C-alpha cells in the first residue's frame, strides 16, 4: 500500500511540475526603483558605491551620441583592439566600421573594443574621454560616481564606481535622448560584416513594456543591471547590483507598480499657467500617485523663493503627496 501511495505522489508531481512563483521572494542588497520624475519609489542601500561593470557603457554611448556629426564616419580599427579583454565585437585590425555601428555594438553586445575605439575617436585618447565622462556625471547629478575607463572593466584599474541612485539618474537622463532609446531598445541589428547582433538585455524579449536597459558583469562587480519600462504614460527605472535573478526582479517590480500607480503630470516642459502663476519648467514634472486617487484629486502650488511646492490633494483637502520643484522659473508672480 505504501508503495502504491508513493508512486501516486510521484505521478501527481510529474503532472503538475514546479513553476516559478510570480512573487519576489528575495531582494538585492543594492537596488532602486525610480519614476520618470526622479522620485525614489523603493530601494535598499542605493547610495552605496560599488563597481558597476558594463552599465558604464550607457555613459560612453551618451557622450558618443552627442557628436551627431560623427554618426556616418567610417573608422579604421587600430592595434588597440588586440589588447582588449572581456566582451567584444571581435573587430580585426585594419578593418573598417561606421561610428554608429560601434554604438550599436556597444549597447547591444557590450563590446569593450567598441568603447575604446569610440573614446579614441571622440577625444583622441582614453584618458581625455574619461575626463568627459566624469564631467558629464557631475552635470547629471551623479555625485557618488567615479569613472576610470569607458568599458567598465576592473582588471587593470579600480574600475568604475557608482550607486544604484546615480545609475538611475543616468538612465533617466539617457531616456531623454531619442537615439539612445532607439538603439538600446533594438532587439536585433544586422551589421554589414559581423552578421546579426542580438541585444543582451533579456528583458526586451521577456517583457513587452521594457524600452531600454544595459547589462553588466565582472568578477568584482558580479551582475549589474539597469532597465527602463513604459506603460501608458508611466515610465519606471530599476537598478540592481550583485543580484542573480535580476531580470525576474525588474519585471516583477514593474508589474507591481504599473498595476497600482499612475504618473500624473503637473508641469510640462516649457511655459505653464498654473492657478495665478506662469511657470517655466526645463522638464516634465509630475508625481507617482495610487490609481485609486487618479482623476478624483486636485493639486495646488505654493510659491516660495527659488522653488515651488506641488501638492496632490483629496477632495476634502487632505495632502496625499507633495513635492519640491527647483528646476523652474516663475515668469509672472501672483
Catalytically active residues, by annotation: 54, 57, 110
| Angstrom distance (rounded) from CA 252 to CA 24 | 7
Per-residue b or e along 130-168, where b marks 16 or more CB atoms closer than 10 Å to that residue's CB: bebbbebbeebebeebebbbbbbbbeeeebbbbbbbbbb
8 Å CB contact between 210 and 184 = no
> Contact, 172 vs 236, CB < 8 A?
no
H helix intervals, the chain: 2-15, 57-65, 99-108, 112-123, 126-140, 164-174, 178-184, 203-206, 246-258
Category of 138 on φ-ψ map: left (φ > 0), alpha (ψ -120 to 50) or beta: alpha
Distance (Å, rounded) from C-alpha 328 to C-alpha 326? 6
Can you say how many angstroms the Cα of residue 38 is from the centroid of all Cα atoms in its chain?
12
CA–CA dist 232, 205 (Å, integer): 19
The answer to whether 120 and 84 have CB atoms below 8 angstroms apart is no
Q: Are 124 and 112 in contact (CB under 8 A)?
A: no
Which helix (H) or strand (E) segment is 299 a member of? strand 298-304
Could you say which DSSP state residue 297 is in?
Answer: -
Amino acid at each position: 500500500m505504501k508503495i502504491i501511495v508513493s508512486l501516486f505522489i510521484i505521478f501527481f508531481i510529474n503532472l503538475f511540475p514546479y513553476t516559478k512563483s510570480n512573487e519576489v521572494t528575495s531582494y538585492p542588497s543594492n537596488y532602486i526603483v525610480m519614476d520618470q520624475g526622479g522620485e525614489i519609489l523603493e530601494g535598499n542601500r542605493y547610495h552605496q558605491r560599488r563597481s558597476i561593470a558594463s552599465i558604464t557603457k550607457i555613459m560612453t554611448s551618451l557622450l558618443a551620441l552627442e557628436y551627431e556629426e560623427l554618426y556616418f564616419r567610417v573608422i579604421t580599427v587600430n592595434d588597440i583592439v588586440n589588447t582588449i579583454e572581456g566582451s567584444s565585437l571581435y573587430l580585426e585590425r585594419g578593418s573598417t566600421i561606421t561610428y554608429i555601428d560601434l554604438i550599436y555594438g556597444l549597447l547591444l553586445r557590450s563590446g569593450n573594443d567598441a568603447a575604446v575605439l569610440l573614446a579614441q575617436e571622440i577625444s583622441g585618447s582614453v584618458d581625455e574621454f574619461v575626463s568627459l565622462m566624469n564631467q558629464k556625471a557631475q552635470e547629471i547629478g551623479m555625485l557618488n560616481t567615479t569613472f576610470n575607463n569607458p568599458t567598465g572593466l576592473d582588471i587593470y584599474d579600480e574600475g568604475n564606481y557608482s550607486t544604484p541612485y546615480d545609475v538611475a539618474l543616468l538612465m533617466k537622463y539617457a531616456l531623454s535622448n531619442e537615439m539612445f532609446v532607439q538603439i538600446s531598445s533594438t532587439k536585433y541589428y544586422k551589421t554589414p560584416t559581423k552578421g546579426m547582433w542580438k541585444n543582451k538585455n533579456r528583458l526586451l524579449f521577456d517583457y513587452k513594456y521594457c524600452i531600454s536597459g544595459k547589462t553588466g558583469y565582472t568578477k568584482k562587480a558580479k551582475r549589474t543591471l539597469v532597465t527602463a519600462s513604459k506603460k501608458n504614460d508611466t515610465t519606471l527605472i530599476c537598478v540592481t547590483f550583485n543580484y542573480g535573478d535580476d531580470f525576474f526582479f525588474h519585471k516583477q517590480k514593474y508589474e507591481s507598480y504599473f498595476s497600482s500607480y499612475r504618473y500624473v503630470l503637473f508641469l510640462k516642459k516649457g511655459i505653464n499657467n498654473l492657478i495665478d502663476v506662469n511657470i517655466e519648467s526645463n522638464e516634465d514634472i509630475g508625481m507617482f500617485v495610487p490609481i485609486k486617487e487618479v482623476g478624483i484629486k486636485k493639486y495646488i502650488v505654493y510659491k516660495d523663493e527659488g522653488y515651488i511646492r506641488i501638492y496632490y490633494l483629496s477632495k476634502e483637502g487632505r495632502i496625499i503627496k507633495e513635492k519640491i520643484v527647483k528646476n523652474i522659473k516663475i515668469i509672472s508672480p501672483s
